[in-house]
Chains A and B, each alone.
Chain A
């Protein structure tokens, strides 16, 4: 058992058929140099920009996050998924999601907004330039990965809809279609999957709407065509296959909180000092590594996000 570095082939646009994806790739290349350096400056050290320019192609296997952790292999990221809409077997998800149709797809932005919107996914990819963000993702089950996402800030989408002053929360809803997502036939969960953020968390520059990874369009098993990535929270907050975004006055219900409210909170900030009732959160297994490593407060994004929770009891608001 050693590290798996499986993804090493150069990537040419001609291999990708759908035009939307081709645009995505061009937009990525255009903005990679500018957006990556600018957007990531807050989170990365200066060495990161240099690494990206050197990498140039989409084979980011030698890249690292801002703390120097290597990015996980494409096979690891796309072959080990918690996506109960398809299966509770993490390795079966990619197989079951193979025929998932991510386009055409519509995303609605509604609720307490002055300008409700309805976007086709192609339109989103065209109008909001994608940039690469390398984030850590920490599952509540105590494993984690480092993933090179492509996406754009949720804030830019919300700004277009002009949230009303009464809006305090953002709710997200996944597709509900048991024919396509066999796991949704299970009556053990209150489908569809829903999640939520406080408005300031949603507007934070780290909060990403993910549309791809490793320079490729988002694989179905990772939440195609549009998913949330909130890197300082446990992975279950990063809802996949989004169809609806609502601006709300009150805190929305979330699927895992409905399943076990004393175990999966609304905030779900990564915190080694606040255990899950049944297991410890003090350490985690980084996929690809053998030993355990200590879990970092806010998954290592303390500097960027701790201000959101100033004065809050993180144990009470878990």
Chain B
């Protein structure tokens, strides 16, 4: 097999499987796991007595978790200096979009059987749904523009556009919180998990604030005594 002896100075195009680190492979494998688990539950009729709601909840949870992981990449790189983490932002974001798409499709196609009239009646004035829909549209826009051709077309604006992942993250957490019986702002009811995710997302956004980044660097320098490398996110 000739790939084993490819040298860096030789300009042969890499095969698609080459250059994948263990980290990348793990992330891709891990991201598909929820889909397999859900499919397995579906085939073994193990989706609770309320299978459609279970499907909606599990695909939604997967999308939320993957979105949070995508948001965690930049802070993780900032704290560790390990560059390969940055390459995971796009795949994690796209997987979040995949599960969000499944979540949406199950809602529209399976739960409501494409009955647009019924869907409109049930959701047009429901902030819970509209917030989720907005987040979904944002994810779609970001997903569609996450490839090099879009970066070239949008230039400076690409970075601005992709900052929309921050409000998207907050909207997804709000959508999740509002699906529960309880008052997330009043800290009453079934809101423990939404609170945890809200705290996590808030933390991951705060760590991007320049003043807070400077503070973290100062803390590190004070403790370690030597300057740590930084690179802009």
Q: Which residues of A contact B (CB under 8 A)?
A: 1, 4, 75-76, 79-80, 84, 88, 90-91, 140-141, 143, 186, 188-189, 256, 258-260, 263-264, 275, 278-280, 282-283, 285, 287-288, 290-292
Contacts and interface: CB of A to CB of B under 8 A. Distances in A.
B111 A292 contact: yes
Given A80-B50, A259-B183, 18 more contacts: A1-B47, A4-B49, A79-B49, A143-B53, A188-B191, A188-B192, A189-B189, A259-B181, A260-B183, A260-B188, A263-B183, A275-B126, A278-B126, A278-B127, A278-B178, A279-B126, A280-B123, A285-B50
Given A283-B122, A291-B113, A76 B52 contact: no
Given A283-B118, A290-B52, A88 B190 contact: yes
B186 to A, nearest CB: 7
Interface in B99-136: 111-113, 118, 121-123, 126-129
Interface of B: 42, 45, 47-53, 111-113, 118, 121-123, 126-129, 178, 181-183, 186-192
Nearest to B50: A143
A173 to B, nearest CB: 19
A189 B182 CA distance: 9
Q: Which of B50, B53, B122, B128 has the most CB of A within 10 A?
A: B50
A256 B183 CA distance: 10
Given A260-B182, A292-B112, A287 B188 contact: no
A133 B37 CA distance: 39
B186 A260 contact: yes
Contacts of B123: 280
A163 B119 CA distance: 48
Q: Which of A75, A256, A292 has the most CB of B within 10 A?
A: A292
A183 B12 CA distance: 61
A2 B53 CA distance: 15
Contacts of B181: 140-141, 256, 259-260, 263-264
> Which 9 pairs between the two chains have the least Cβ-Cβ distance?
A80-B49, A280-B122, A259-B189, A278-B128, A259-B188, A76-B49, A260-B183, A287-B49, A88-B190
Contacts of A88: 190
Contact of B128 (A80, A91, A256, A279): A279
B118 A188 contact: no
Contact of A188 (B53, B127, B178, B187): B187
